[in-house]
Amino acid sequence: MTDATSSQVPAATPAPARSSLLTQSALMKKRNAAEARFKAYGVAAICVSLSVLAIMLWTIFSDGVSAFKQASLTFPVTLDADALDPKGNRDRAEMMRVTTIGYTKLLNAQLLAHLETRGISTEGVTDKDVAAFISRDTPARLRDMVLESPELLGQTITVSGFATGRIDGYLKGRVTRDTAALDTNISVAQLDLADRMQDEGILTTKFNWGFLTNPDASDQRPEAAGLGVALIGSAYMMALVVVMVLPLGVAASIYLEEFAPRNRWTDLIEVNISNLAAVPSIVYGILGLAIFINFAKFPQSSPLVGALVLTLMTLPTIIIATRAAIRAVPPSIRDAALGVGASKMQTVFHHVLPLAAPGILTGTILGLASALGETAPLLLIGMVAFVANYPAGPLDGGVLDPATALPVQVYSWASRSDPAFIERSAGAIIVLLAFLVTMNIIAIILRRRFERRW
């Protein structure tokens, strides 16, 4: 730009005829054209990225939103005391002997009976086909409920449980009559029955809180799989990462920026920090496996180990961001503080840190966001395991219990064969995105609050 301006000056000055300002010179036209072209490139680049983003969001949402809804069967069940408590003494140990199979039989029979009383024809489908409507999750839940409160025995209660994945898929449009014809797990006649049951209000779709609260479920019952354990695992890890990475990162940055002498050692540290920020995250996973699990013998798959690995991984990023924020504080502020006789510590804590806080916060939240979405290192420390039990509360050593994390759950669901898990995978991505957006909003709010003029 400057070159163009200076080359125009000699052209304009010795010009024989006085050039009019109302007509553009050839050079000016060229420069304006270049500018217009550059703007067009920029707009095009933004359009491309926006449309890619839009496509991505659209696919995720169109696949994933349905994970938040779930087909469920609602019908009355008479809890037959003879079948569920053969000894009749309401003794928990005795009742435990009736396995879920006993409950499955009961539910199957009761569903058939209910269809009959409602006058819904089961033409063309066997009793087994009707039984296949009920998720394996339902008998297990019913059993837990009865064991918990044996006084229910003999009563008639309304049971509302998940329908199986194929029926759920049919209600959501994932399964059609065409695909059912090719599928050994479901028949067209079953779909017809599903239509009739839906008309009668036995089969309905509801918002599925279980998707957010349930633990993961086995391959046979995708309908019961939820993000509960992954959410707790991610929450534990994020909390631990914040608690570890902020003090470490800020202390290291302050020391390096404000106190450390400039010598070969600090140069070496500086180079290493930049390099560490560029190390692929899976390397941190191997490191975590070697140090925290094999050497320090921390429990595998535990949020504590995950958090330690993620802390190591985000530390360089946070140190770099924090140092940049500290360096951006005008030196005149430091001079001013030192000039009135503040000590180095006072200068840093009263003046430099408050001014650097917005930058530090932004860096930290960005680091946390990348840690939240990190999968590879967690795979190596065993957080991809199938975990069906919730970890304990944070004060009961829950950080040492096995857990998974949101991105790992996305990964493991995406690699299962049943298409119902793909839907859940997309749903989990939505939850992950919601978390990231929330974190960014918090970052923006905090930044606004801390930001000051100087």
Q: Which residues bind another protein (CB under 8 A)?
A: 261-262, 330, 332-343, 346, 350-351, 355, 452-454
**Phi-psi sector, 124: left (phi>0), alpha (psi -120 to 50), beta:** left
Q: Is the CB of 129 or the CB of 258 nearer to another protein?
A: 258
Are 362 and 451 contacting, i.e. CB atoms less than 8 angstroms apart?
Answer: no
245/241 Cα distance (integer angstroms): 6
Are 64 and 172 contacting, i.e. CB atoms less than 8 angstroms apart?
Answer: no
Q: Is the CB of 347 or the CB of 404 nearer to another protein?
A: 347
Least separation in angstroms between CB 356 and another protein: 12
Q: Is the CB of 17 or the CB of 340 nearer to another protein?
A: 340
Least separation in angstroms between CB 365 and another protein: 23
74/159 Cα distance (integer angstroms): 6
Are 413 and 428 contacting, i.e. CB atoms less than 8 angstroms apart?
Answer: yes
Q: Is the CB of 207 or the CB of 454 nearer to another protein?
A: 454
Q: Is the CB of 282 or the CB of 333 nearer to another protein?
A: 333
Least separation in angstroms between CB 259 and another protein: 11
Q: Is the CB of 18 or the CB of 262 nearer to another protein?
A: 262
31/444 Cα distance (integer angstroms): 39
Collect all residues with Cβ–Cβ distance below 8 Å to 63 and sequence separation of at least 6. 422, 423, 426
Q: Which residues of 128-137 are buried (b: 16+ CB within 10 A; e: fewer)?
A: eebbbbbbbb
Are 382 and 302 contacting, i.e. CB atoms less than 8 angstroms apart?
Answer: no
Least separation in angstroms between CB 351 and another protein: 6
What are the backbone dihedrals phi and psi of residue 328, each rounded to the nearest 5 degrees, phi first?
Answer: -75, -10
Identity of the residue numbered 178: D
Q: Is the CB of 115 or the CB of 352 nearer to another protein?
A: 352
262/24 Cα distance (integer angstroms): 55
Least separation in angstroms between CB 275 and another protein: 24
Q: What is the DSSP letter of 75?
A: E
Tally DSSP H helices, then E strands, for the chain.
21, 3
